[in-house]
Every structure is written in structure tokens, then in C-alpha cells.
A and B are shown apart, each in its own frame.
Chain A
Amino acid sequence: NAGVMQNPRHLVRRRGQEARLRCSPMKGHSHVYWYRQLPEEGLKFMVYLQKENIIDESGMPKERFSAEFPKEGPSILRIQQVVRGDSAAYFCASSHYRGENTEAFFGQGTRLTVV
């Protein structure tokens, strides 16, 4: 059973371009979380999705950022018109909700660099 797969591992974009980050959850997991981490800082929650639904996007900037988790295929975090401040590591986690216990499994992250 493969773990959470994120790709690409590294992504370089020029200011104004679009960045697409992909996350394939563990097999059987229907819950996906996205986090952003700046160097030497903690993980900042961005968005929580279930299949075809956004459950909580309270941590995601209102503009330029969007996320989806379609019925088929990976979850996508999309950043339009990237700016230097978007440079960070973006982590995805997945879980199989079993009532109150929600152990999450993390991918290795995508490091986005905006030049």
C-alpha cells in the first residue's frame, strides 16, 4: 500500500505563473488536508477536503488559491498568479475517518519556489 504521494517534489515558477500541486492519498482514504510550511515554522492548515467536497477552507487565502478532490484522480492545490510570498513547502495528508480517531499520513511535500 503506497503512502501519500505528492508531485512534483520541487516546483519552480516565475511570478505570475500558475502552480499545480498534486496529492494522491493512501488507498482507501477519502479525506485530504493541505498545509503550508515556511522555513523554521510549523504547518499552517489551508484546506480540508473529502471526495468532491470542500469541508473547511478557512486557512486558504480567498484569492488565487483553490483546491479540489475529484471523485477520480488526485487532489489538486492550485495557485494562480504566484508571487514570491507563495514560496514554501506544501504538504498533503490523508486519513480514513473512523469516528473520532483521525491519524493522518503525510506526503513528502512539494517545495515551491517562485522566482
Chain B
Amino acid sequence: SQQGEEDPQALSIQEGENATMNCSYKTSINNLQWYRQNSGRGLVHLILIRSNEREKHSGRLRVTLDTSKKSSSLLITASRAADTASYFCAPNFGNEKLTFGTGTRLTIIP
């Protein structure tokens, strides 16, 4: 089925370090979104990158998109304990349906 797949499945880093997670997909997209889910809560939209964009920033977040490789990455700089969460990508394949992979579980170690 059409959805993105996040990698790695789990990531633990020290507070203050940068965290990078990746998303791969199989067919062409219109845009790609990243979401965060804190334990037991609903997803929160972080950033949307269009297919004609290569990089986008929002605060400590940096998202890149490589349509030739069908992949995106989310970089969180200067990580904080509050960044501990699961992160999901949602590629938009030209329809309105939003689907998610299994996510990357990020743990920030104080």
C-alpha cells in the first residue's frame, strides 16, 4: 500500500545532540509531511515540504526532500528531553488520503 516508511525504528541520543530520521516511499508525491506523537496522544503536524522544494526549516527542525531517491529526512538540532516522541512521515501521493508508517521512536537521554 502507499505509505512512507521511517528509519530507524528507534533512536536514542544524548540531550544536545542532533537527531536524524529518514522516510522512504515508492511512488511520486505532491508533498510530504512530518508529524510527532507524544506518548498516548494524537499526532501533531510539524512541517510540510512540497515536491518542488529541497529543504525547509522550522525552528530547530530541518527537512530535506530528494525526489530522485524518493526519500526525506528530518533533522532535529540541539535536541531536548521534550523532543522524546515518535515521528511519522506522511507522503501525499496525489490524493487526499493520509497514511503513516510505523514511525521512529526518538528518546533523548538527559
Question: Do A41 and B102 contact each other (CB < 8 Å), given the known contacts A100-B31, A105-B45, A107-B42?
Answer: yes
User: Which residues of chain B are near A21, meaning CB under 8 Å?
Assistant: none
Q: Is the CB of B48 within 8 A of A104?
A: no
A43's partner among B30, B41, B43, B48 (CB-CB below 8 A) is B43
- Binding site secondary structure of chain A: strand
Considering the complex, which residues of chain A in the window 9-52 have a beta carbon less than 8 Å from any beta carbon of chain B? 31, 33, 35, 41-43, 45, 48
Q: How far, in whole Å, are A104 and B98 apart by their CA atoms in the complex?
A: 8
Q: How far, in whole Å, are A101 and B41 apart by their CA atoms in the complex?
A: 24
B88 adjacent to chain A (CB < 8 Å): yes
A100's partner among B42, B45, B92, B97 (CB-CB below 8 A) is B92
Q: How many residues of A contact B (CB 8 A)?
A: 26
B100's partner among A43, A56, A100, A103 (CB-CB below 8 A) is A43
Question: Do A106 and B43 contact each other (CB < 8 Å), given the known contacts A33-B98, A48-B97, A100-B30?
Answer: yes
Q: Is the CB of A108 within 8 A of B97?
A: no
Q: Is the CB of B92 within 8 A of A43?
A: no
Question: Do A103 and B97 contact each other (CB < 8 Å), given the known contacts A4-B42, A43-B88?
Answer: no
Q: How far, in whole Å, are A43 and B42 apart by their CA atoms in the complex?
A: 10
Q: How far, in whole Å, are A4 and B90 apart by their CA atoms in the complex?
A: 19
User: Which residues of chain A are near B97, meaning CB under 8 Å?
Assistant: 33, 45, 48, 55-56
Q: Is the CB of A102 within 8 A of B98?
A: yes
- Closest approach, in angstroms, between the C-beta of A42 and any C-beta of chain B? 4
